[in-house]
């Protein structure tokens, strides 16, 4: 080997040895992995009690699935109209009462659900699953809460109430407040009255006949929970039908009055409606939509939402203490469900007849 070539090879070997030693002494730092950009999941919801929902549901879900939840809030009719119009952003999950969800399904706006992707569905109360099995909307929507009709009354001024018919008692005349037929409570109360007076879910004429007898003794027909609260606070209301969630809304007023506003499930039964979750057709994140629906139905989330006074649970494993107003075990004893198909077929004529016979038109 020529001396010059030997020197060059020696230099190369030295460089390699020094480089290897340096690599061992000063290893290259492992690069920090760049977190995946969170996907955005759009949900259409009323937005009530959102601070509590955000804490109990949204933030844990965002953390678990590396997702950012975007809320589109508004009243039921407003959000339903946006869905029909195809307004942007299109929600990945929409929350609506069963009647509106049925209308959306009839228009072909919703995905038919694959319940195998919602394992927590199996934890629902049997009476709720049975109700959904009777209606087409059960293919498209999954309930996240239940609302049943109760009767609120001033227990300090009147004898105990047990029946819908007690509203017709003479001692309540002049202090009766009823829901307007256009509210969620209105049609439920009409049907419950009809059942009490010999009618049925579809035969509401006995209900209308009975309600006409109350004319002259009714203070007003309320449209919002705030109206009901105000009427009890001003001592103008002594009795009123309402939904279970209104117990929470009335707590402040009831405390001011000394806890005298009581509520009762009427002996005729627990007539109820369901608020549902569904996936609109064209949703961009169906996989995450299924995950959110299943997460919302989990035992832990359902229990926490009930204890926080947000929603009554539909998960039978979410144990709520006896006496808590969101313990719905009493509802299971005599449940009455109005299928959305019945409301879709009859609600407009009921509204027209109500306006004519009750003088609210």
pLDDT of the residue at 75: 87
**Residues 124 and 143 sit within 8 Å (Cβ to Cβ):** yes
pLDDT over 90, % of the chain: 84
pLDDT of the residue at 327: 96
Superfamily for the 147-271+342-358 domain: Periplasmic binding protein-like II (3.40.190.10)
Say whether 147-271+342-358 and 39-145+275-326 share the same fold: yes
Per residue in 269-321, pLDDT (tens digit) is 999 999 999 999 999 999 999 999 999 999 999 999 999 999 999 999 999 99
Q: Which of 243, 223, 245, 219 lies closest to 232, judged by CA? A: 219
pLDDT of the residue at 236: 97
What residues are paired with 261 via a beta bridge?
Answer: 154
C-alpha–C-alpha distance, residues 310 and 313, integer Å: 9
Q: Where are the domains of the chain?
A: 39-145+275-326, 147-271+342-358
Per residue in 318-343, pLDDT (tens digit) is 999 998 999 999 999 999 999 999 99
CB atoms within 10 A of CB 82: 18
Identify the band that residue 3 occupies on the pLDDT scale cut at 50, 70 and 90: low
pLDDT of the residue at 29: 53
Query: Topology of domain 39-145+275-326, per CATH?
Result: D-Maltodextrin-Binding Protein; domain 2 (3.40.190)
- Residue 30: in which H helix or E strand, if any? none
Rounded to 10°, the helix 286-296/299-307 angle is 60
pLDDT of the residue at 249: 85
pLDDT of the residue at 117: 99
């Amino acid at each position: 080997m020529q001396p010059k070539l030997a020197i060059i090879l020696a230099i190369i070997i030295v460089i390699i040895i020094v480089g290897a030693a340096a690599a061992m002494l000063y290893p290259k730092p492992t690069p920090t992995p760049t977190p995946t950009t969170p996907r955005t999941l759009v949900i259409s919801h009323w937005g009530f009690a959102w601070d509590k929902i955000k804490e109990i549901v949204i933030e844990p879900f965002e953390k678990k699935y590396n997702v950012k939840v975007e809320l589109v809030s508004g009243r039921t009719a407003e959000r339903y109209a946006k869905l029909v119009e195809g307004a942007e952003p299109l929600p990945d999950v929409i929350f609506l009462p069963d009647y509106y969800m049925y209308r959306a399904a009839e228009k072909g706006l919703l995905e038919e659900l694959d319940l195998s992707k919602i394992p927590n569905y199996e934890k629902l109360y049997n009476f709720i699953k049975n109700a959904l099995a009777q209606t087409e909307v059960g293919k498209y929507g999954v309930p996240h809460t239940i609302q049943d009709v109760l009767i609120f009354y001033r227990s300090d001024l009147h004898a105990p109430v047990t029946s819908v018919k007690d509203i017709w008692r003479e001692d309540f005349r002049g202090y009766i407040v009823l829901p307007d037929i256009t509210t969620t409570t209105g049609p439920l109360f009409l049907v419950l009255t009809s059942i009490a007076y010999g009618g049925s879910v579809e035969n509401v004429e006995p209900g209308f006949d009975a309600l006409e007898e109350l004319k002259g003794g009714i203070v007003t027909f309320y449209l919002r929970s705030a109206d009901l609260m105000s009427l009890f606070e001003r001592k103008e209301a002594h009795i009123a039908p309402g939904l279970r969630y209104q117990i929470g809304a009335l707590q402040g007023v009831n405390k001011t009055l000394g806890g005298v506003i009581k509520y009762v499930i009427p002996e005729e039964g627990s007539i109820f409606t369901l608020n549902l979750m569904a996936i609109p057709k064209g949703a961009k994140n169906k996989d995450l939509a299924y995950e959110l629906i299943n997460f919302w139905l989990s035992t832990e989330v359902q229990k926490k939402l009930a204890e926080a006074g947000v929603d009554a649970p539909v998960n039978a494993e979410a144990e709520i203490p006896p006496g808590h107003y969101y313990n719905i075990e009493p509802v299971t004893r005599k449940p009455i469900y109005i299928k959305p198909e019945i409301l879709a077929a009859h609600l407009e004529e009921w509204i027209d007849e109500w306006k004519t016979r009750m003088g609210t038109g």
